């Protein structure tokens, strides 16, 4: 999808547009923060180009069109081979047209395309002399760049010394991963600096900065390898002949970081359809990547094809960027709302001036917790960079500090619970109402009664409100003490609904421990964690007897989470006792309790025994397997929710997961399975239809 070019009506508007674009481009390449997000800048430049096409005699010399880096920057280190930019396409049709024109130019169809992510950072050339990193140069205007060798030590992925003592130039992108960006902004604001608006700006600013009191790491990914004047002639000849994919393998062999180790490695495709399928696949993985990409780069793989195609002044003719929709826009932070969740957590949420990102209007963004607001140095009225990719909840990346006017106001944190007025427990990063799950009782009971927890049919939100308002239910255990007369006395409760509800509550008594635990809403234990805990300990008594050390034997519970689970279970003790007294099941079917821990500690005999009990993973047809379920199920599995499918996987001895990786053993792909199926295929992971899977786990159904 292409966003429309900016409309330029006359020469004055054209001159203004050129001025705006040049300023924005300079800020972008010099590591400052542009007041235009990428999408707005692209539209502006396309508008400029459209106007210039109709007025070729009035083109201003400073116009950014046709220039590498928009003509914004220069440097004093000449590049031995010009560092070009890339032309863009935005749709399958445009890409297909590009391949046709490339085929015409080289006289035949391209037999092999290299397809790799377009990393959203800055181009850099790293010169190695006899294997040692001697110089780092930015792209600059393409013919000469700036010397940034001082930053070499903080760029991960560019070793100080290669695996072989060769003289070569490695080209690639320097960027900050999301984690590196967050760390950089934290350190920077701690030192009194203004936060960077996004990872790209952060990488640009950090690369050029000298003499900072602090250092923050960045990451390099190679996408080019070429000879330098001092390169041994045999090697130089070889590098000129190798296909792009072979050059990337060489770079990796020399110890330089490439995309090969990421979820979106560069691949070779042999047809346009295959390229387009890979484009979709990478687009689908974008939201999960730990670094930003703004498109996919497609290159003619063979060196001979590249040579024949040649290059224009700005970009090569043998490569193209297939741009993906922008995931970032600048908008304003209008307000912060504080919402109390079902466990009493008080979560801030940003209210934004509505902004369209990739076809959706965004009005809210997540803010995590008060400490996060402080760390990000956010203020009301700030211009903020908002990021939204895929179905992930939009997030504020950072304020755009240089757009501050001084009128911004501090964000006021609540001093009492905004829902019930009780005191707030601020001892942890996530603040919590001291009433805990009783503060938002309706939310906590509705969750407990939900399909994936106790599955009490007929107990929807409205009914819960009614029960709470009538004073009949003040916590989860009260639900099990409801009488027929109490229910009949309620509005719109006839005999049938009453009996049905009582029967559903009775059925809920027999749910497995994992469901009961999940219904309790212990912080940090969602559905799959509750299942792991329940399968490991087998009984509620064992769980309650566990200390923080033994809890950490459950996969996914670390030293931070364990004590808070212990504390919360202690707090829930009286409620759990009442539930047990009301006949609620407190055991996990099929699970064997772990043996007692011996004196030797985790490395002793106790632990050895432990490895063969506890989670009951050794038994069943899926023993030792990690299984991902995607798409809609059919046959005997049709009625199962995703949660029930995951439960089934675990009953059959497997481990359920929601994302496909190299560690996945099996992907159950039903109708409509999308990117997960594609990823499984590209990683060569075993696939099963719902029917095949149903047969495999038949003994564990129901």
Residues carrying an active site annotation = 118
- Binding to ligand IVH by residue 138, rule CB under 6 A? no
**CA distances (Å), origin 389, targets 70, 89, 140, 363, 619:** 27, 20, 30, 15, 40
Contacts of 602 (CB under 8 A, 6+ apart): 553
Signed CA dihedral, 395, 401, 404, 408: sign only: positive
Strands 293-300, 319-323: parallel, antiparallel or unpaired by DSSP? antiparallel
* Closer CB to ligand IVH, 122 or 272, in the complex: 122
Site for ligand IVH in 396-425 (CB under 6 A): none
* Closer CB to ligand IVH, 119 or 519, in the complex: 119
Signed CA dihedral, 274, 675, 263, 665: sign only: negative
* Closer CB to ligand IVH, 156 or 164, in the complex: 156
Closest CB 88 distance from ligand IVH, rounded Å: 8
Closest CB 316 distance from ligand IVH, rounded Å: 4
Site for ligand IVH in 99-118 (CB under 6 A): 116, 118
DSSP 35-60: SS-HHHHHHHHHHHHHHHHH-GGG--
- Binding to ligand IVH by residue 543, rule CB under 6 A? no
Q: Are 582 and 574 in contact (CB under 8 A)?
A: no
Q: How far apart are CA 628 and CA 659, in angstroms?
A: 7
Closest CB 539 distance from ligand IVH, rounded Å: 54
Signed CA dihedral, 639, 644, 648, 649: sign only: positive
For ligand IVH, what does the binding mask look like between residues 662 and 701, x meaning CB under 6 A? Answer: ----------------------------------------
Catalogue the E-assigned strands of 373-521: 379-380, 383-387, 395-399, 409-410, 424-425, 432-433
- Binding to ligand IVH by residue 223, rule CB under 6 A? yes
Q: Are 613 and 594 in contact (CB under 8 A)?
A: yes
* Closer CB to ligand IVH, 312 or 604, in the complex: 312
Closest CB 299 distance from ligand IVH, rounded Å: 7
DSSP 429-446: SS-EETTGGGTTHHHHHH
25-33, 313-321, 410-418, 496-504 -> range binding ligand IVH (CB under 6 A): 313-321
- Binding to ligand IVH by residue 137, rule CB under 6 A? no
Q: Which of 44, 45, 115, 123 binds ligand IVH (CB under 6 A)?
A: 123
Burial class (CB in 10 A: 0-12, 13-18, 19+), 441: buried
Q: How far apart are CA 318 and CA 302, in angstroms?
A: 10
* Closer CB to ligand IVH, 254 or 540, in the complex: 254
Element (H, E) at 103: helix 92-106
Site for ligand IVH in 572-611 (CB under 6 A): none
Q: How far apart are CA 69 and CA 146, in angstroms?
A: 13
Closest CB 649 distance from ligand IVH, rounded Å: 37
* Closer CB to ligand IVH, 159 or 316, in the complex: 316
- Binding to ligand IVH by residue 244, rule CB under 6 A? no
- Binding to ligand IVH by residue 319, rule CB under 6 A? yes
Closest CB 381 distance from ligand IVH, rounded Å: 34
Closest CB 300 distance from ligand IVH, rounded Å: 11
* Closer CB to ligand IVH, 259 or 664, in the complex: 259
Element (H, E) at 251: helix 244-253
* Closer CB to ligand IVH, 69 or 352, in the complex: 69
- Binding to ligand IVH by residue 297, rule CB under 6 A? yes
- Binding to ligand IVH by residue 89, rule CB under 6 A? no
Structure tokens that stand for 381 in this block: 């009225």
Nearest residue to ligand IVH by CB is: 123
Site for ligand IVH in 169-188 (CB under 6 A): 173
- Binding to ligand IVH by residue 42, rule CB under 6 A? no
Closest CB 293 distance from ligand IVH, rounded Å: 8
Distance of CA 538 to the CA centre of its chain: 34
Q: Are 458 and 498 in contact (CB under 8 A)?
A: no
- Binding to ligand IVH by residue 86, rule CB under 6 A? yes
Q: Which of 8, 17, 84, 204 binds ligand IVH (CB under 6 A)?
A: 84
Q: Which of 33, 40, 65, 85 binds ligand IVH (CB under 6 A)?
A: 85
Element (H, E) at 226: strand 218-227
- Binding to ligand IVH by residue 316, rule CB under 6 A? yes
- Binding to ligand IVH by residue 144, rule CB under 6 A? no
Helix/strand/coil for 299: strand
For ligand IVH, what does the binding mask look like between residues 446 and 485, x meaning CB under 6 A? Answer: ----------------------------------------
Contacts of 209 (CB under 8 A, 6+ apart): 31, 151
* Closer CB to ligand IVH, 124 or 652, in the complex: 124
Other C-beta atoms closer than 10 Å to the C-beta of 699 total: 10
Closest CB 116 distance from ligand IVH, rounded Å: 4
Q: How many residues bind ligand IVH (CB under 6 A)?
A: 13
* Closer CB to ligand IVH, 282 or 297, in the complex: 297
Q: How far apart are CA 227 and CA 247, in angstroms?
A: 11
Comparing CA positions, the residue from 623, 616, 636, 653 lying closest to residue 689 is: 636
* Closer CB to ligand IVH, 67 or 368, in the complex: 67
Helix/strand/coil for 362: strand
1-9, 100-108, 207-215, 315-323 -> range binding ligand IVH (CB under 6 A): 315-323
Footprint of ligand IVH (CB under 6 A): 84-86, 116, 118-119, 123, 173, 223, 297, 316, 319, 321
């Amino acid at each position: 999808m292409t966003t429309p070019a900016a409309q330029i009506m006359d020469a004055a508007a054209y001159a203004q547009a050129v001025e705006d674009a040049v300023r924005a481009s300079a800020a972008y390449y010099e590591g400052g923060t542009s007041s235009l997000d990428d999408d707005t800048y692209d539209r502006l430049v396309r508008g400029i180009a459209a106007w210039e096409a109709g007025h070729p005699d009035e083109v201003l010399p400073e116009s950014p069109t046709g220039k590498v880096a928009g003509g914004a920057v220069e440097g004093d280190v000449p590049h031995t081979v010009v560092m070009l930019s890339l032309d863009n396409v935005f749709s399958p049709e445009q890409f297909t047209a590009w391949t046709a024109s490339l085929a015409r130019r080289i006289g035949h169809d391209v037999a092999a395309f290299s397809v790799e992510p377009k990393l959203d950072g800055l181009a850099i050339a790293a010169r190695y002399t006899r294997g040692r990193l001697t110089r780092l140069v930015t792209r600059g205007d393409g013919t000469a760049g700036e010397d940034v060798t001082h930053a070499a030590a903080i760029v991960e992925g560019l070793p100080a010394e290669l695996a072989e003592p060769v003289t070569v130039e490695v080209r690639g992108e320097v960027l900050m991963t999301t984690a590196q960006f967050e760390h950089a902004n934290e350190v920077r604001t701690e030192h009194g600096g203004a936060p960077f608006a996004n990872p790209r700006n952060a990488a640009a600013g950090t690369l050029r900065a000298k003499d900072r009191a602090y250092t923050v790491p960045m990451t390099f990914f190679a996408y080019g390898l070429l000879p330098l004047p001092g390169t041994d002639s045999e090697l130089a000849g070889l590098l000129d002949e190798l296909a792009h994919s072979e050059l990337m393998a060489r770079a990796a062999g020399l110890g330089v970081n490439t995309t090969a180790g990421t979820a979106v490695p560069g691949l070779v495709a042999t047809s346009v359809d295959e390229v387009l399928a890979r484009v979709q696949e990478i687009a689908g993985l974008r939201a999960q990547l730990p670094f930003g990409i703004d498109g996919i780069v497609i290159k003619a793989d063979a060196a001979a094809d590249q040579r024949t195609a040649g290059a224009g002044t700005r970009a090569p003719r043998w490569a193209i960027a297939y741009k993906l929709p922008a995931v970032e826009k600048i908008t304003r932070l209008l307000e912060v709302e504080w919402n109390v969740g079902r466990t009493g957590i008080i979560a801030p949420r940003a209210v934004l001036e509505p902004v369209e990102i990739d076809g959706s209007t965004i009005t809210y963004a997540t803010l995590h917790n008060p400490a996060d607001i402080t760390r990000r140095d956010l203020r009301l009225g700030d211009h903020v960079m908002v990021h939204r990719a895929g179905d992930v909840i939009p997030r504020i990346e950072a304020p755009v500090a240089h757009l501050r006017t001084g009128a911004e106001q501090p964000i006021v944190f609540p001093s009492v619970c905004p829902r019930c007025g009780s005191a707030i427990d601020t001892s942890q990063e996530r603040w919590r109402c001291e009433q805990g799950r009783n503060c938002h009782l309706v939310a906590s009971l509705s969750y407990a009664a939900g399909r994936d927890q106790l599955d009490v049919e007929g107990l929807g939100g409205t009914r819960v409100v009614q029960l709470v308002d009538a004073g009949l239910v003040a916590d989860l255990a009260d639900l099990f003490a409801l009488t027929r007369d109490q229910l009949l006395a309620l509005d719109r409760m006839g005999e049938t609904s009453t009996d049905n509800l009582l029967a559903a509550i009775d059925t809920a008594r027999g749910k497995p421990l994992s469901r009961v635990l999940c219904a309790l809403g212990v912080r940090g234990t969602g559905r799959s964690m509750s299942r792991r805990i329940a399968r490991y300990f087998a009984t509620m008594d064992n769980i309650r007897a566990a200390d923080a050390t033994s809890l950490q034997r459950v996969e996914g519970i670390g030293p931070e989470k364990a004590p808070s689970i212990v504390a919360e279970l202690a707090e829930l003790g009286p409620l759990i006792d009442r539930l047990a007294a009301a006949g609620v099941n407190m055991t996990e079917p099929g699970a064997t309790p772990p043996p007692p821990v011996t004196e030797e500690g985790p490395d002793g005999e106790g632990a050895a025994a432990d490895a063969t009990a506890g989670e009951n993973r050794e038994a069943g047809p899926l023993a030792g397997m990690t299984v991902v379920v995607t798409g809609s199920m059919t046959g005997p599995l049709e009625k199962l929710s995703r949660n029930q499918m995951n439960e089934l996987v675990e009953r059959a001895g497997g481990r359920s997961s929601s994302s496909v990786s190299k560690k996945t053993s099996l992907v159950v792909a039903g109708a409509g399975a999308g990117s997960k199926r594609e990823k499984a295929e590209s990683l060569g992971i075993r696939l099963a239809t719902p029917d095949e899977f149903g047969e495999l786990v038949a003994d564990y159904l129901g």
